Amino acid sequence: MKTPEHPIFLESVKYIRSKLGITGLDKVQQSILERIIHSSGDFSLQSCIRFSPSACENAINALKNGAKILTDTYMAEAAISPMAKRTINSDVQCILGMAPNSIDSTLTTRSAIGMRNIWLDLEDQENLLNAPFVVIGSSPTALICLLDLVESGYATPSLIIGMPVGFIGVSESKSRLLNSDCPYIVLEGSKGGASLAAAATNALLRAAEP
3-state SS record for the chain: CCCCCCHHHHHHHHHHHHHHCCCCCCHHHHHHHHHHHHHHCCHHHHHCEEECCCHHHHHHHHHHCCCCEEECCHHHHHHHHHHHHHCCCCCEEEHHHHCCCCCCCCCCCHHHHHHHHHHHHHHHHHCCCCCCEEEECCCHHHHHHHHHHHHCCCCCCCEEEECCCCCCCHHHHHHHHHCCCCCEEEECCCCCCHHHHHHHHHHHHHHHCC
pLDDT at 68: 96
Which residue positions in the chain have pLDDT lower than 70?
125-128
Instruction: Please pick, among 17, 29, 38, 88, the residue that the annotation labels catalytic.
Output: 38
Does any domain span residue 2?
no
- Reply yes or no on whether 38 is catalytic: yes
Does any domain span residue 1?
no
Does any domain span residue 86?
yes
pLDDT at 111: 96
How many structural domains comprise the chain? 1
Task: Give the tens place of pLDDT for each residue, 56-79.
Answer: 999 999 999 999 999 999 999 999
Does any domain span residue 116?
yes
- Domain encompassing residue 72: 7-208
Which CATH number do you get for residue 119?
Answer: 3.40.50.10230
Does any domain span residue 152?
yes
Its pTM stands at 0.95
